[in-house]
Amino acid sequence: MKRFFSWVLIAVALILCIVSCQRIELYSLAESTATATVWIVTEAPTLIPSATTVWFPPTATPRPLNTPTPFPTQDMKPDIGRLVVPDGFSDPGKWETYRSPEGNAVWANKEMTLAIHRTAGVVESYADLPGWKTFIC
């Protein structure tokens, strides 16, 4: 019985060796497109011996065939500049003003100015406008 299993094991090993030695063919689902490569070769200048070592001698360099086409960047903020709430800033009591280490919210000359002291920060002013519960600028 042991002899039979050893022959079966040897036969399976041989079959696996023979099967694994066969050529495997791979197929691609994408179709290949033929592209032509054009090499523009220029002659290198004749070399003249000199006392200075030329570390990067001039060589013929092929030019690329196609240059990528640039596309314009999409406008990611289309609503900037749109008037949200009309207010002439005629009444200085409507808007909250303050000064802080982060920035200022100041009302002067019928204008509201928001200024940030650092490269990043948050400055906001609240107003009590008719028809609006609270508005943030």
67: its two tokens: 């240059």
d(CA 95, CA 7): 96
Asked if residue 87 lies in contact with residue 129, where contact means CB atoms within 8 angstroms, the answer is yes
d(CA 114, CA 93): 16
Residue spans of the chain under pLDDT 50 = none
pLDDT computed for residue 132 by the predictor:
64
Q: What is the pLDDT of residues 18-46, one digit of tens each?
A: 766 666 666 666 666 666 666 777 777 77
Q: What is the pTM of this model?
A: 0.36
